[in-house]
Chains A and B, each alone.
Chain A
Amino acid sequence: MAASVKMLIASPLRPYTGADEVELRGATLGELLDDLEARFPGTRFRIVDEQDRIRRHMRFFVNGEPVFDLAQPVSPADEVSMVQALSGG
């Protein structure tokens, strides 16, 4: 079983998670989001579209570096952050 990784949750999704940080299981960013969906149904589609593209105004950072690929490997020591990009008024 994959080890757990902490992910900082963007504020628009905190009504789903009830917390600003959650521990998720997975070896890639995509697997973390699958676990997020399993625990908090509805979250994944609001972050990733049906073609598995990260939505335009959602961003991920692993250890401070921007990540755009769901296949990005992650490990328990990584700091994974989900943030919302600015999108107008």
Chain B
Amino acid sequence: MAAKGTKLRKTAKKAPKRAAQKASKKATARAPKSKKQLVLVATRKGAWLFHGDAARKTWRSDGPHFLGHVIHHLVLDPRDGRTLLAAASTGHLGPTIFRSTDMGKSWKEATRPPAFKKVENLPEGKKARSVHHTFWLTPAHGNEPNVWYAGTSPQGLFRSEDGGVTWTEFFDLASDPQYRAWLGGEQEGTPDGPSMHSVIVDPRDPAHLYFAMSSGGVHETRDGGRHWKPLVDGMEVVAGFDASNLTFHDPHCVRMSPSNPDRLYQQNHCGIYRLDRPATKWKRIGKAMPKAIGDVGFGIVVHPRDDARAWVLPMDGQTVWPRTSVEGKPAVYGTQDGGKSWMRLDAGLPKGEAWWTVKRQAFAGDNSNPVGLYFGTTSGELWASPSEGRSWDLIARHLPEIYAVETATIG
């Protein structure tokens, strides 16, 4: 089990102490009172809910839900604190969405799950797209109760206005010649298929949205989806490819700072980035990571009350892309200064021979003070840190391959 105590190892440029103290004070000042913590775990064979006490020390497992179903994402609506949506498929059956309003005691299936429009008279040799699975779920703006967005594989963006019961395509990417070209084919996608993810709603403006595509880049609308434009300036692509072609852009995960909606963080196939709007050029902040670790990974978490703090989980991105913890020694890296410096946070994690992979949706933070961090591995381990990464404990092991981890606080 996890080692006790705190271990912070500086590995990059020294963070200014005063700034860190100031950040800590700022983060503490606005922290909500601790409530009971819920960790929602989606796996390749079902879903689990882990109920924590207020101190986040003991956890009660509730599951499996949908045993045998592939659950790609499981999200609790923070606006009502009771609606759970689960994006599901199985090895045999087509994709669907399940909905619960009693914390998973009962589930109802969407009557119209995300599906592309039927294409008639397709040219010879062309194959119309069909939704393989819903990959990502995002509750919409606080002033739009019951509105949700869903990102699918292959890339599609859908919207529900009835709490997830019926879904319609929100942005018909395939009908836009430019976007259709950027979507690429199946070979441009991830091993699990090309995906739409990181659907982000600006809390100040429900018409201001972002999404990201693997592959296909990061995109933004400011008019509620009528017009979209790419936001990839400064983002690198694999050496030898043309960065002006969005097909080659692979943002793994984009997060908006909850305390500053003008600040975006991104974990990309080619590094860690930050963007401070209204600027449009991403800055590669992963350059400050230790060279031996690199800045490849999948998930990224931003502090709920301090826009200078974020955490990543580096993966081995050498040669054939093992996508495992670097040298079999898993570690989270945290920044307190917007990515100028990074600290290794591995107390309690295995010191070696732990060849983990953590998917882009499987790394999450809560809103407590101190912030709790959680990640799930493809080998079925669920880890938690109630201390912003300073120490880690195992919540569960022997789960199926973990696809996604989300958090929620419940009263």
CA distance A47 to B94 in the complex (A): 6
Give the distance to chain B from A57, nearest Cβ to Cβ, in Å.
4
Contact between chains at A50 and B90 (CB < 8 Å):
no
In the assembled complex, which residues on chain B have CB atoms less than 8 Å from the CB atom of A84? 92
CA distance A27 to B19 in the complex (A): 74
In the assembled complex, which residues on chain B have CB atoms less than 8 Å from the CB atom of A45? 94, 96, 113, 115
In the assembled complex, which residues on chain B have CB atoms less than 8 Å from the CB atom of A53? 130
CA distance A55 to B94 in the complex (A): 7
Of A45, A47, A48, which is in contact with the most chain B CB atoms at under 10 Å from its CB?
A45
Contact partner, B92, options A12, A48, A49, A50, Cβ 8 Å? A12
Instruction: Give the dominant DSSP class at B's interface.
Output: loop
CA distance A57 to B109 in the complex (A): 21
CA distance A85 to B90 in the complex (A): 12
Is B116 at the interface (CB under 8 A from chain A)?
A: yes
Q: A42-B109, A42-B111 are in contact. Are A58 and B117 (CB under 8 A)?
A: no
Contact partner, B93, options A47, A50, A51, A52, Cβ 8 Å? A47
Is B119 at the interface (CB under 8 A from chain A)?
A: yes
In the assembled complex, which residues on chain A have CB atoms less than 8 Å from the CB atom of B408? none
Contact between chains at A50 and B130 (CB < 8 Å):
yes
Contact between chains at A55 and B92 (CB < 8 Å):
yes
Is A36 at the interface (CB under 8 A from chain B)?
A: no
Contact between chains at A85 and B92 (CB < 8 Å):
yes
Is A39 at the interface (CB under 8 A from chain B)?
A: no
Is B131 at the interface (CB under 8 A from chain A)?
A: yes
Interface residues on A, range: 20 to 34
CA distance A49 to B110 in the complex (A): 15
Contact partner, A50, options B96, B109, B111, B115, Cβ 8 Å? B115
Is B118 at the interface (CB under 8 A from chain A)?
A: yes
> Which residues between 57 and 71 of chain A lie within 8 Å of chain B, taking CB atoms?
57-58
Is A73 at the interface (CB under 8 A from chain B)?
A: no
Q: Contact string, A62-89, partner B, CB cutoff 8 A, digits 1/0?
A: 0000000000000000000000110110
CA distance A13 to B129 in the complex (A): 24
CA distance A60 to B205 in the complex (A): 49
Is B91 at the interface (CB under 8 A from chain A)?
A: yes
> Which residues between 1 and 57 of chain A lie within 8 Å of chain B, taking CB atoms?
10, 12-13, 41-42, 45-53, 55, 57
Give the distance to chain A from B303, nearest Cβ to Cβ, in Å.
39
Q: A42-B109, A42-B111 are in contact. Are A52 and B118 (CB under 8 A)?
A: yes
Additional A-B contact list (20), CB under 8 Å, known A46-B96, A52-B118, A87-B91: A10-B92, A41-B111, A45-B96, A45-B113, A46-B94, A48-B94, A49-B94, A49-B130, A49-B131, A50-B115, A50-B116, A50-B130, A51-B118, A51-B128, A51-B129, A53-B130, A55-B93, A57-B91, A58-B92, A88-B91
Which residue numbers of A lie inside 8 Å of B, CB to CB? 10, 12-13, 41-42, 45-53, 55, 57-58, 84-85, 87-88
> Can you report 15 A-B residue pairs in the complex whose CB atoms are below 8 A from each other?
A12-B93, A41-B109, A41-B111, A45-B94, A45-B115, A46-B93, A48-B94, A49-B115, A49-B130, A51-B119, A52-B118, A53-B130, A57-B92, A87-B91, A88-B91
Q: What are the nearest 8 A-B pairs in CB distance?
A: A49-B130, A87-B91, A46-B93, A50-B115, A84-B92, A57-B92, A46-B94, A51-B128
